[in-house]
Amino acid sequence: MSNVQLTIAGRSYSLACAAGEENHIRKLGAVIDARLSSQPNRGAQSEVRSLLFAALLLADELENKEEPAVPSAPPAPAPTAEQSAAPDVAEIAEPLEKIADLLESLASRLEEMKPNP
């Protein structure tokens, strides 16, 4: 365990933290101190009340950042080279019909060659 000294709103605080977390805790303390410094009429409030408002403002900012964005439809993928080079359906319809006719002819021949029981 390590100890970190923080100064927030002119007051020093000593906090225990895990070893290696000291710089992170100092950065967080600086964020809180900056938030407190930006509050109007801070001098008229108690220290506890000022810290409470700073905590509420920070929590509100965090919550707004965590709200998921409205999901939108994913963008259509760009056509690949193969897709853009693909022939038009009309261009391949006739050859496909010829292939289908050939397959039907072969199937008929196979049926004719089949022995009757």
Are 8 and 62 members of one domain? yes
Of 27 and 96, which is predicted with more confidence? 27
Domain residue limits at 15:
2-66
Instruction: Please answer whether residues 50 and 36 qualify as being in contact, where contact means their C-beta atoms are separated by less than 8 angstroms.
Output: yes
**What is the torsional sign of CA 99, 105, 110, 116?**
positive
In the block, residue with structure tokens 């009309």: 90
Q: Which residues contact 16 (CB under 8 A, 6 or more apart)?
A: 1, 2, 3, 4
| pTM confidence score | 0.51
Contact (CB, 8 A) for 17 and 32:
no
Say whether both 16 and 57 belong to one domain: yes
Co-location of 91 and 36 in the same domain: no
* pLDDT average, residue stretch 19-39: 89
